[in-house]
Structure 1
Amino acid sequence: MNTTNTLSFSTEYVDLFEEIVAWIILCVGLPVISLACYALYKLIKADFVTPIYVINLLLSDLIQVILRVYFIAERFLDTKTESFKTMQHFFLVTVRFGLVASLGFMVCISLERYLVVSHPLWYRFHRNVKHSVLVSLGIWTLAAIYAAIDYNVLTSYIVFLPVFSTIFLLPFPLLVFLYWRTKQALSNTIAVSASEKKRIRGALLLVLGIYVLFFLPFTVMSFFVIISKIRTYTVYCVMAVARSMVRLSPLVDPFLYIFMRKSVKDTVEAFPCFRTLGWSLTSSGTQDEPSKAHYAAEMKSSL
């Protein structure tokens, strides 16, 4: 059993698998995230309470998705030059910067939903765009600090993996605690409507599910590799799948937009193409789009 840091097997098929995943991320993720950003922009125009953290989460996803272009094009570049190694390291660190920011905004989304239910009065008087923007800038700053340390210090895989894995593990207890506490608070409150409870619970469950399904496997495998020091082909393949799951997470984040709207009808009618095609869920079918005043009032009443 090989326990050294040098791979003694071919990675051709694993590399092909990761390239296919990169193409899927680019071809699916870019249009889906762009549509979600457009829909959130429509919420802002409707005087909706600005979903700052969801917008920033999608921006961090865009960074990861757009940079997949470089990793797809790597096979056509001269990999032996020093400039290639420098550029590759820079883009890898930038992707990690986006990942760290994503984790931060996932925690912020869960914390915000928790405050809405558990401390509604405090949240109502302290909620404003300025505070959300400042928190978001703080998340981006922390992610940038990590990226700077990663680029200049964590150049060795032996040093990088434990640090990165620990950062990945930190949100897990927070997300579980916020979901559990919010679920308890929802069951004990009568001030929140049943439909709003479903949206809050759904948003929290989606955030926790994204972490458990896409981030936790990589974290567990990383600690396994660090502790066991096993470098077999099987471990390498499982690690590649875990890495790919993390990279696929931006494809799921746009679904958070659904929990920003009151119903499926509100979700699909945010896109002009559905109205152009005659999509209508109203019983009368005589009104294609609500008035601007009604639309704004409806958005204010949702999450």
Structure 2
Amino acid sequence: MNEPPFFQHIKWLDWITTGIGLPLTLIVIVAIFLQVKKDQGVPVYVINLLFSDLVQFCGRIIDYFNTPNGITSFGLMASVGFMVCISLERYLVIAKPLWYRFRRNIKTYVVVCVVVWTLPLPILLTLNLTTDPTIGSNIIEKVIPGVFLMPITFFIFFLVGTIKALSGALSVPAEEKRRIVAIQVAVLLIYTLLFLPNILPFLFPEIGSIIFILSPVCLILSPIADTTLYLLTRKSILDKFLASLCSCKASDNQEMSSKDTESTTAPHTETV
């Protein structure tokens, strides 16, 4: 029986994104480790996020040749967990700088990463080991949507809290503040645009077919979007972009102020 053209296009998109995303993710991971050798800070959660993307790509390849075994879902849930960790870390840098400075150590990173990698395991094992189809369907229809719905509240809270704490973070340079806010906004946008559409059909079964079409596409594109978080953690790349935006804005404001000055001085010279 032939598959509908839509599912055939999805398979092609899956293979194309895997062919591009898998080597790209490996290159980014190597680039991060090269930066670590240069005595720069170790973005632990970003590295784990990229490894979770590798798990997703490997799971897609295995799912294509065998029956789906949940490896892709495991990598997807771990990816969400590390996105929350990245957003939380950026929030603590601004809101609790002293607490974050003294609490940041290798032991904390190891514990958090082990917890994030361990939390999806019960769902993965249940899906693979259960023989009752009712349990599997309940997990897919109720548990997984709930797991993916909770992080959006954390992302919004961390973004709002970061913006509110910006004025009081005197020890953080202005460039670092802009970079942190950009990371928070990027995490929220990536999750809202690429992750939430996948759970909307479970929460609202009566929703239209557009979301049904978009949800697998968003799921396929999500690992590639994670590389933008690496770009945002690179000062050399993001600072140039933000500096160009700020310079453009400053030049526009200067041009507007000069025009306002000319408009206010012109009538005064006529009366004299």
TM-score interval (norm. to shorter) = 0.7 to 0.9
1:40-51 correspondence to structure 2 within 5 Å? 40-51=32-43
- Tell me which residue corresponds to 1:259: 232
Structure of higher CA gyration radius: 2
The separation in 1 between residues aligned to 2:109 and 2:35, in whole angstroms, is 16
Distance apart, 1:21 and its partner CA: 1.7
Secondary structure of the residue that 1:88 maps to in structure 2? coil
Distance apart, 1:168 and its partner CA: 0.8
In 1, are the aligned partners of 2:232 and 2:238 still within 8 Å (CA)?
Answer: no
Distance apart, 1:266 and its partner CA: 9.6
Distance apart, 1:251 and its partner CA: 0.4
Q: Does residue 206 of structure 1 match 2:206? A: no
1:207-286 correspondence to structure 2 within 5 Å? 207-225=187-205, 228=206, 235=209, 238-264=211-237
Equivalent position to 1:144, from 100, 107, 121 = 121
- Tell me which residue corresponds to 1:186: 166
TM-score (norm 1): 0.72
1:105-184 correspondence to structure 2 within 5 Å? 105-153=82-130, 155-156=133-134, 158-159=137-138, 160-184=140-164
Distance apart, 1:16 and its partner CA: 0.8
In 2, are the aligned partners of 1:97 and 1:144 still within 8 Å (CA)?
Answer: yes
- Tell me which residue corresponds to 2:59: 67
Which runs of 5 or more residues in structure 2 are unaligned? Answer: 241-272
TM-score (norm 2): 0.80
Q: Does residue 94 of structure 1 match 2:71? A: yes
More helix by percentage: 2
The separation in 2 between residues aligned to 1:173 and 1:47, in whole angstroms, is 35
The separation in 1 between residues aligned to 2:214 and 2:161, in whole angstroms, is 32
Distance apart, 1:243 and its partner CA: 2.0
1:232-284 superposed Cα distances (whole Å, 9 cap, x missing partner) = xx63x6324212202210001011112222222999xxxxxxxxxxxxxxxxx
1:164-208 superposed Cα distances (whole Å, 9 cap, x missing partner) = 111110111011111110111124322211211111111111111
Aligned residues: 237
CA distance 1:155–1:42, change in 2 (3 Å): farther
RMSD of aligned alpha carbons: 2.3
The separation in 1 between residues aligned to 2:183 and 2:21, in whole angstroms, is 20
In 2, are the aligned partners of 1:186 and 1:197 still within 8 Å (CA)?
Answer: yes
The separation in 2 between residues aligned to 1:186 and 1:145, in whole angstroms, is 39
CA distance 1:250–1:131, change in 2 (3 Å): same
In 2, are the aligned partners of 1:50 and 1:129 still within 8 Å (CA)?
Answer: no
The separation in 2 between residues aligned to 1:146 and 1:43, in whole angstroms, is 35
